[in-house]
Amino acid sequence: MSFKVISAEEAASYIHHDDNVGFGGFTAAGTPKVVPAAIAKKAQEEHDAGRPFAIGVFTGASTNDSLDGALSRAKAIKTRTPYQSHKDSRNVINSREMSYYDMHLSHLAQNLRYGFLGKINVAVIEATDVSEDGKIILGTGVGIAPTVCQLADKIIIELNSHNPKELAGFHDIYQPADPPYRREIPVYKPSDRIGKPYIQVDPKKIVGIVETNLPDGVKEFAPADEVTTRIGDNVCNFLVSQLKAGLIPKEFLPLQSGVGNIANAVLGGLGNSPDVPAFEMYTEVIQDAVIGLMKTGKCKFASGCSLTVSPAVLDEIYKDIDFFRDKIVLRPGEISNSPEVVRRLGLITINTALEADIFGNINSTHVTGNKMMNGIGGSADFTRNAYLSIFTCPSVAKGGKISAIVPMVSHLDHSEHSVSVLVTEQGVADLRGKSPIEKAKLIIENCAHPMYKQLLWDYLKLERGGHTPHNLKACFAFHQEFNKSGDMALTNFDDYK
């Protein structure tokens, strides 16, 4: 190989204060593992010497501790988008020491190409292989790698020998033409391959290769508990009822399922139901449960942007890689999450809410209206364009001191116009074709926790009339009570009469 092998520190020397850096990968999967930490170290040294050092950080989605963790702790980020889920990152976002803007994941690559977000100076990409003529085989995540490789002046590759070379062929790299010349993305079923298995770059842009041998280190999922199992069962029974009523075609429709423990448990529930036929997935992250369902034959195919699976499950895939070869495709985020494809394929989408209001609006991102949790991720790419959009959440959080069902969401990510069904461990509210007051009654009756039902009825009794009967004085009473006493259940609507 004629590319120069360099250390992570030397790689960091190519990155200067004020640069914009685009990173490959998606979640911890395929995210660079040593260069970001070396950039953080450099930032620390520059700060110690009294010099400024902060970079723009663009990624496919959330990352790992070496990237969001180390760079946030070193105060080395001037601006960050689109999704993060690291506590140190959250801290500097919420203290406003780091400028963060949240955006739909499918939008980032095109917005970078349109030039809306400034110049990308350097791309840092994890790869499984790279050829002399600049063909890069990615690792377990794709994200925005193809676009940042195209836009950057310099490319740094972390060549990770932890990935078997047999990962070649799992990727489908396709970048749509930009308007006014864009046509439909020619994915007509989840398993369609429309691009190349590698990213082609100008080899002269590759300034160095950093060799690694490191696992992605995806966190283990919490085992399904009573609440997540009941949510999973409720989603499952609802989908079966829709199938039986002929409202979902008998062949079933491709599924999308969001991130986290709840999403993982919901998929597990679907897998156990004899009444749900074998299905395909057109999703963003392929989590542990999907791999289990492939082995039982319940999931026939998964198109995604990353293999975000725990280390033991990744080992299983690598040991039996030929079994999975014709069952998985990894695409760039703008294709895995393309609203146009989502609408056309007719996806059933299942995402997680932090809170939902009684009129069906969803907050996926902000705690008590002001503190950023993770970001909107790809949830709206899918929800807004779904055949059937489902939101799930436990009805209470923090041991019951927070009701996930509130009079009015304290931040809006998905409006009532995009949300078809709300599911908690208490039950299902099918919101299709319902007026706001009908939605409110269904959500309180079917989804709210028993300890919050009466309070929510009390709120509705305060109504000021109108189509959506909010009471603007009392609509944030739950949140105000939580800020005051730490327990939403102590809300007293008599104070608002």
Distances (CA, A) of 102 to 61, 80, 264, 377: 11, 8, 24, 8
374 is in an annotated binding site: yes
Nearest CA to 265 among 213, 229, 241? 229
Question: Contact between 378 and ligand 0RQ (CB under 6 A)?
Answer: yes
Q: Which residues make beta-bridge pairs with 289?
A: none
* # residues near ligand 0RQ by CB under 6 A: 27
Q: Residue with structure tokens 């400034």?
A: 118
**Looking at beta carbons only, is 138 or 266 nearer to ligand 0RQ?**
266
Q: Which residue is nearest to ligand 0RQ (CB)?
A: 377
Instruction: Among 21, 34, 40, 61, indicate the residue that binds ligand 0RQ (CB under 6 A).
Output: 61
Shortest Å distance, C-beta 457 to ligand 0RQ: 20
Question: Contact between 444 and ligand 0RQ (CB under 6 A)?
Answer: no
Q: Which of 284, 316, 334, 481 is catalytic?
A: 284
Conformational region of residue 123, where left means phi above 0, alpha means psi within -120 to 50, and beta covers everything else = beta
Shortest Å distance, C-beta 398 to ligand 0RQ: 5
Calpha distance 104→102 (Å, rounded): 7
Question: Contact between 489 and ligand 0RQ (CB under 6 A)?
Answer: no
Considering only 146-154, 252-260, 272-280, 468-476, which stretch makes contact with ligand 0RQ by CB under 6 A? Answer: 252-260
Q: Is the peptide bond before 407 cis (omega within 30 degrees of 0)?
A: no
Shortest Å distance, C-beta 483 to ligand 0RQ: 12
Distances (CA, A) of 488 to 202, 244, 401, 452, 463: 57, 39, 6, 9, 20
**Per-residue binding letters, 384-403, with ligand 0RQ (x by CB under 6 A):** ----------x--xx---x-
CA torsion 366-375-33-313 (nearest 10°) is: 100
Kindly state the greatest CA–CA separation across the chain.
Answer: 76
Shortest Å distance, C-beta 54 to ligand 0RQ: 25
Considering only 121-129, 134-142, 366-374, 439-447, which stretch makes contact with ligand 0RQ by CB under 6 A? Answer: 366-374
What's at 493, amino acid-wise?
A: F
334 counts as catalytic: no
Instruction: Among 64, 191, 352, 424, indicate the residue that binds ligand 0RQ (CB under 6 A).
Output: 352
Nearest CA to 491 among 427, 415, 405, 431? 405
Instruction: Return binding residues.
Output: 374, 378, 398
Instruction: Give residues in contact with ligand 0RQ (CB under 6 A).
Output: 61, 83, 105, 258-262, 284-285, 351-352, 354-355, 364, 367, 373-374, 376-379, 394, 397-398, 402, 404
Q: Which of the residues are catalytic?
A: 284
